[in-house]
Amino acid sequence: MNFRYLPATEEDKQDMLHTIGAEKMSDLFEDIPERIRTQEEMDLPEAASEPRLLKEMSQLSRKNADVRTYPSFLGAGVYDHYIPSVVDHVIRRSEFYTAYTPYQPEISQGELQAIFEFQTMISELTQMDIANSSMYDGHTALAEAALMAVSHSKMKKTKIIVSEGVHPEALAVLDTYAAGPGLTVVRVPLQGARTDKEVLEKEMDDQTAAVLIQYPNFFGTVEELKEIETMVHQKDSLFIVSSNPLALGILTPPGDFGADIVIGDTQPLGIPMQLGGPHCGYFATSRKLMRKMPGRLVGQTVDKEGNRGFVLTLQTREQHIRRDKATSNICSNQALNALASSVAMSALGKNGIRDMALQNLRKTNYFKEKLKHAGVSVVHEEPVFNEFVIHTQTDAAAVNRRLFEKGIIGGYDLGSVYEDRFGHMLLCVTEMRTRDEIDAAAAALKGAIK
DSSP structure string for 53-87: HHHHHHHHHTTS--TTTS-B---TT-------HHH
CATH class of the domain at 85-344: alpha beta
DSSP run (H or E) holding 359 = helix 335-373
CA quadruple 276, 280, 286, 288: dihedral, nearest 10: 110
Confidence at residue 39, expressed as pLDDT on a 0 to 100 scale:
81
The DSSP letter of residue 49 is P
Confidence at residue 399, expressed as pLDDT on a 0 to 100 scale:
96
**426-441: b or e for each residue (b if 16 or more CB lie within 10 Å)?**
bbbbbbbbeeebbeeb
The DSSP letter of residue 247 is G
Whether the pLDDT of residue 95 is over 70: the answer is yes
Whether the pLDDT of residue 289 is over 70: the answer is yes
What mean pLDDT is predicted for residues 314-318?
63
SS3 readout for 266-316: CCCCCCCCHHHCCCCEEEEECHHHHHHCCCEEEEEEECCCCCEEEEEEEEC
Whether the pLDDT of residue 221 is over 90: the answer is yes
Whether the pLDDT of residue 373 is over 60: the answer is yes
User: 48 or 241: which carries more pLDDT confidence?
Assistant: 241
Whether the pLDDT of residue 331 is over 60: the answer is no
What mean pLDDT is predicted for residues 428-442?
97
Asked if 376 and 410 count as a contact pair (C-beta separation under 8 A), the reply is no
The DSSP letter of residue 42 is P
Contacts (Cβ under 8 Å, ≥6 apart) of 149: 157, 160, 209, 210, 237, 238, 240, 260, 261
Asked if 377 and 388 count as a contact pair (C-beta separation under 8 A), the reply is no
Contacts (Cβ under 8 Å, ≥6 apart) of 166: 142, 174, 212, 213, 214, 217, 218, 242
Asked if 119 and 130 count as a contact pair (C-beta separation under 8 A), the reply is yes
d(CA 341, CA 118): 8
Calculate the alpha carbon distances from 12 to 7, 27, 136, 343 in Å: 9, 17, 37, 44
Distance from chain centroid for Cα 234: 30
Sheet containing 377-378: give its strands across. Answer: 377-378, 387-391, 424-428, 412-413
d(CA 169, CA 359): 27
d(CA 144, CA 327): 9
**Taking the domains of the chain in order of start, what are their residue ranges?**
85-344, 349-449
pLDDT band at 437 (very low <50, low <70, confident <90, very high): very high
pLDDT tens for 131-182 read 999 999 999 999 999 999 999 999 999 999 999 999 999 999 999 999 999 9
Nearest Cα to 330, choosing from 342, 319, 339, 341?
Answer: 319
Asked if 253 and 232 count as a contact pair (C-beta separation under 8 A), the reply is no
pLDDT band at 94 (very low <50, low <70, confident <90, very high): confident
CATH class of the domain at 349-449: alpha beta
d(CA 116, CA 446): 48
pTM of the model: 0.88
d(CA 1, CA 293): 49
**35-57: b or e for each residue (b if 16 or more CB lie within 10 Å)?**
eeeeeeeeeeeeeeeeeeeeeee
pLDDT band at 1 (very low <50, low <70, confident <90, very high): very low
Positive or negative, the Cα torsion across 119, 120, 124, 125?
A: negative
Cis peptide before 245 (omega within 30 of 0): no
DSSP run (H or E) holding 114 = helix 109-126
Whether the pLDDT of residue 320 is over 80: the answer is no
CA quadruple 206, 209, 214, 218: dihedral, nearest 10: -90
Asked if 20 and 28 count as a contact pair (C-beta separation under 8 A), the reply is no
**Percent of residues, the chain, with pLDDT higher than 70:** 93
Whether the pLDDT of residue 328 is over 70: the answer is no
pLDDT tens for 397-412 read 999 999 999 999 999 9
Work out the mean pLDDT of the chain and round it to a whole number.
92
Range in 4-13, 29-38, 340-349 the model is least confident about = 4-13
Distance from chain centroid for Cα 348: 21
Nearest Cα to 414, choosing from 433, 401, 404, 400?
Answer: 400
Range in 20-29, 36-45, 375-384 the model is least confident about = 36-45
**Percent of residues, the chain, with pLDDT higher than 90:** 76
